[in-house]
Chain A
Amino acid sequence: MSRYIFRTIFSALPTLIGVLTCVFLLTRLIPGDPALLILGENAPQEQILQLRKDLGLDQPIYVQYFHYLYQVFHGNLGISLRTERSVIKEIMDVLPYTTELAIAGIFVSVIIGVPIGVISANRRNTMTDFVAMTFAILGVSMPVFWTGILSTLLFSLYLGWLPAIGGGDPANLIDRILHLILPSTAIGMAASAITARMTRASMLDVLHQDYIQTARAKGLEELKVLYKHALRNALIPVITVVGLNMGRLLGGTIVTEIVFARPGMGKLLVDAIYARDYPQVQGVVAFFAAMVIIVNLLVDLAYSIADPRVELS
């Protein structure tokens, strides 16, 4: 078991380095001299040369690369051009908001998606199935920012039930939850569509298995058959999908944070892009990708715990 854990973590490491390399290359592709970009064309030549030296731009590219890797693994993602604070600090300040949004989104996708998937599987090819699957396709078709805007219009403006913006008072848990409802539903809807389809497919797979027929033949009530036997086994691929969805979900937080004016990494990234704050863009992108890798890693590990068959491969 521990060997499996080791192996999994070990294989994630090169991916992480690959990600950092990508980010490094990406920012070296910026047209123009970064020092000029920072100081402006009218700056005196010595200042520009000095800044290039400070930024390490006068070194050959492979030296810069290893320097960059070294810095990242020591937790240094650079200094933001706008605020002059360290990028890591800026990220840490808002990370809790993005994390709670992503988790809430997954939560919503599961509590909506799984039951729908189960019901559709049970009543396959009936009207219920059709309606549910149409809903699923619709969920995937509507852009998150649009459903977000519409739900703000309905629930905040017309009905006044929920707050329209912000993350809520950090000290007040209820306030934070209220502020999460609309955004997490916006993200969760799209993800729930995928979860529903996956659950349905997986359930259909399982429902045909022999042991289900046996359970039915034994006279167990339908509900018990569904939930105790079928769903448990069907859940495994669903967990994988949910975990893989995480990447997509994290991407969804970007737009959702803008629509709902929530603090978070997405908003940080967009602000950095508008401000041409390249160190911050670089740092946030790398951090985001690293988060996805870690989540996938955790899902892999959870998967192996849930399904003992896995480690043998």
Chain B
Amino acid sequence: MPLLEFTSKGIYCKQANVYLDPWRGVDKALISHGHSDHARWGSKRYITEQTNVPIIQHRLGNITVSGKKYNETFSINGVQFSFHPAGHVPGSSQIRAEYKGEVWVFTGDYKTQADGISTPFEPVHCHTFITESTFGLPVFQWEDPKKTHESINQWWAVNQAKKTTSLLMGYSLGKVQRLLKHLDPSIGKIYTHGATEHMTEVLRQFIDFPQTERITRDTTKKEIEGNLVLAPPAVMGSAWMKKLGRVSTGYASGWMAFRGARRRRAVDRAFVLSDHADWSGLLSAIKATGCENVITTHGYIELFAQYLNEQGWNARTQKTQYASETEEIVTAE
């Protein structure tokens, strides 16, 4: 009997009778991070890293949840569990499970680059590593994010000189705050869409961010002209966007590495910036665990597993209900 198994409700530890990031309601759920494909509604009790507690409370409403520190070990029916930094978004963890000397780690989502807002990824030794592989193809190789942030600020400054408003879009939890953290407030004011502002507000208790102002019905075009607006991707082409006046649109995502994806998005500027590990990030993370077995869960799982097998790991794939194969989930909140 494997320590963790894949069931119709999610990743299950039979010995402890708990689920990891289940996609149906269960009695007890250990949650890796706050994105909606990992932290789902409907379970009776949630356990997660403490920074993630207010995040999932904000997303899931009135739930019963307890918080743990990173690296703090707790025992459920003889199984030792602990949360370890995954570097994906604030409050994101890898979940370690140990029973009778056997160690499994489930990564949830992770990246090995430091982003300035999440606790940086820490490799955890294990026998079996259940890893995401969203960008598990060698064509994905991220730039130094410093460069990306510089080009974002340059883009903003150029737009400002042309009295054009910069509309910068990214996922509401994680991406938007990462963008915000590295914006240069000396260029102008930073406005936000309601959906992103709520989450940023939740995270302000842990992280220092530049000042932001939420766009309301009373905000005028004149007021925001030349400034920067942060919003979720769902606003693209909406009535809300039209009210901003003349904008240059920017979108930050790992998928923007592909020309085809950039053109489909039809934004004025695409920035390649991802909260997932790139090809070398995935490989270095796997090496650092010292594991023998790898299970790839989402993304280009088959190709990645095949490559790992050729490189000497015992790798297999597992279909899950985490974010889909083609493009980052974009939820309008």
- Genuine A/B complex: no
